Amino acid sequence: MTDAFGIQQSLQNIGIQPENPGSSTGTNWLDSGELSLSSISPADGNLIAKVQLANVETYEAIIAQAHLAFEKWRTVPAPQRGEIVREIGNALREVKADLGKLVSYEMGKSYQEGLGEVQEMIDICDFAVGLSRQLYGLTMHSERPGHRMYEQWHPLGIVGIISAFNFPVAVWSWNAALAWVCGDVCVWKPSEKAPLSAVACQHIAAKIFAKHGMPEGICNLIVGDYKVGELMSHDPRVPLISATGSTRMGKLVGKAVGERLGRSLLELGGNNAIIITEHADMDIAIRGALFGAVGTAGQRCTTTRRLIIHENVYEEVKTRLASAYSKLVIGNPLDERNHVGPLIDRDAVQSYLAAIEKVKTAGGQEVVAGGVVTGEGYQSGCYVKPAIFEAENHFEIVQHETFAPILYLIKYKTLPEAIALQNGVPQGLSSAIMTTNMREAEAFLAAAGSDCGIANVNIGTSGAEIGGAFGGEKETGGGRESGSDSWKAYMRRQTNTINYSTSLPLAQGIKFDI
């Protein structure tokens, strides 16, 4: 265990003993007897800690425990469930700095982004508390006299959560906080690339549930490889699987869950574009594009990967972006003077380098050169230079998502052409337009405009508030998490009809007399 940057102290402040961080289920870790998983920081290549891997026996024990916990948890009134979630949010407030530091060090995003991720968890807990008193159904007028119709919502049961490394804790909380107030219990499989942040969250939440005398099994954690995800996806005891990751992974999960007629909530790849029109406020456009492209080192599902620029301002945008890129400081994410941290691991670096070669081979023109950063302070081998290329939307590499800071510049003449380019990729997560022209903005937001789940005006593609439903269309999977009415994904709808009359009329006027 390394103590670089005070990580060991942060773990202890959260309540984790670094030499034995645990792995699965509630406050008492289940011993799987299996090999452990090493959490390696991409910031410096050092070992943070080892986390125990689950096996099939552990999985079965956790599912059984979760099922028993659900039988009690679903009977707790929703406002009381909300009160427990409120306390989890307060517990997160108390360790925000330490958990943010751990997220930053284990995943590689900047410390400010690590803090922001924890704040998202706090925000969704606040949202869920209010939601616990607003799980509304509808009433309907019956066609039959002396009858009343209404609908209500009931919890599903066990919600399986599969999360990705780039948001190692926030996306879990989007699902878990809503699922808990809805009366569900959760089984969480985090990314193998950021397991310790998940263990920290498990410790925090499990203590609050235990404080209230709730059974172990309301919140559960299983650290393991893709085989754990396969077990969850094929398990009929898990009615909903919420999976965040690549489109390839999502197709496998969706197929497995669909074959058993379960539910899946999929948040998959993005290939997000900003349209910069000739009427854009150029200062806002450049700032939005810059953070969208290089924030989290290009490892957000909402990262800006394409800039679709009007020909009249194309050269200005290109010049100003190149100038801004020259001022970026690449380095350890815990040093707040740095703008760009590392990629998650060396495999990601190889994918980044391969993408650069592909765009060059396709005919892309280099605007800002990429490459691996070497030397003192970069010994992990995971630091790369954000790159910019002039490209065509139809290039194969442009049609795919590369989880790295590579930005493609594409020129357009008319707004319909720009919108067609924006929509002309398989993914449909986030999109934006930079314009001060109301007609352009409204056209972008209209039915014939952006086909993405998120469409912004004069803000970038990256960054979302928890009050709105988050998710996308096409190969992004169609799922919605976080705000709005996303809670309905975690519940089952039931229509009820009550006959308070002294007769039994049938619907549609059917007669059935004996």
Q: Tell me the per-residue pLDDT of 344-373, one tens digit each, with 9 for 90 and over.
A: 999 999 999 999 999 999 999 999 999 999
| Strands annotated E in 374-485 | 387-390, 406-412, 427-428, 430-434, 454-457, 469-470, 473-474, 481-482
- 392 pLDDT more than 60: yes
Q: Can you tell me the distance from the alpha carbon of 119 to that of 345, in angstroms, rounded to the nearest whole number?
A: 25
How is domain 4-268+477-493 classified at the architecture level of CATH? 3-Layer(aba) Sandwich (3.40)
Whether pLDDT at 106 is above 70: yes
* Cβ count within 10 A of residue 493: 11
Give the confidence band of 4 by pLDDT, cuts at 50, 70, 90.
low
Mean pLDDT of 134-147: 96
pLDDT band per the 50, 70, 90 thresholds, residue 27: very low
User: Which CATH superfamily, name and number, covers 272-468?
Assistant: Aldehyde Dehydrogenase; Chain A, domain 2 (3.40.309.10)
Percent of the chain predicted with pLDDT > 70? 96
Phi, psi of 267 (to 5 degrees): -120, 100
Residue 463 has a pLDDT of 81
Question: Which part of the chain is CATH 3.40.309.10?
Answer: 272-468
**CA separation for the pair 139, 481 (Å, rounded):** 26
* Structure confidence at residue 436 (pLDDT): 98
Tens digits of residue pLDDT in 207-258: 999 999 999 999 999 999 999 999 999 999 999 999 999 999 999 999 999 9
Q: What was the pLDDT predicted at 514?
A: 81
Distance separating alpha carbons of residues 476 and 371, to the nearest angstrom: 29
Write down the pLDDT at residue 464.
85
Burial of 402 (0-12, 13-18, 19+ CB in 10 A): buried
In the chain, CATH 3.40.605.10 covers: 4-268+477-493
Q: 28: pLDDT confidence band, cut at 50, 70 and 90?
A: very low
Q: Is the pLDDT of residue 30 over 70?
A: no
User: Residue 92: which of 25, 27, 15 has the closest Cα?
Assistant: 15
Q: What is the mean pLDDT of the chain?
A: 95
Q: Coil, helix or strand for 172?
A: helix
Banded pLDDT at 152 (limits 50, 70, 90): very high
The confidence band for 5, taking pLDDT boundaries of 50, 70 and 90, is confident
Is there a catalytic annotation at residue 475? no
* pLDDT tens digits, one per residue of 271-315: 999 999 999 999 999 999 999 999 999 999 999 999 999 999 999
- The residues pairing with 40 across neighbouring beta strands, listed in sequence order, are 47
* Inter-residue contact 186 to 161 (CB < 8 Å): yes
Q: Can you give the pLDDT at residue 24?
A: 42
Active site residue 301: yes
Asked if 49 and 1 count as a contact pair (C-beta separation under 8 A), the reply is yes
Task: List, in order, residues 6 or more apart from 28 with CB less than 8 Å away.
Answer: 216
Please report, rounded to a whole number, the percentage of residues in the chain having pLDDT higher than 90: 92
* pLDDT value of position 33: 55
Choose the catalytic residue: 267, 401, 440, 481: 267
Rounded mean pLDDT, 437-442: 98
User: Alpha carbon of 180 to those of 74, 157, 242, 497: distances in Å?
Assistant: 9, 10, 14, 28
Provide the token pair at 264.
């899946």
- Residue of 182, 301, 382, 452 with catalytic role: 301
156-177 burial string, b = 16+ CB within 10 Å, else e?
Answer: bbbbbbbbbbbbbbbbbbbbbb
What is the structure's pLDDT at 459? 97
Q: Assess contact for 197 and 102: CB atoms under 8 A.
A: yes
Please tell me the distance from the alpha carbon of residue 200 to that of residue 204, in angstroms, as a whole number: 6
pLDDT, average across residues 73-87: 98
Mean pLDDT value of segment 411-423: 98
**Tokens of residue 289, six digits:** 């594009």
The model carries a pTM of: 0.95
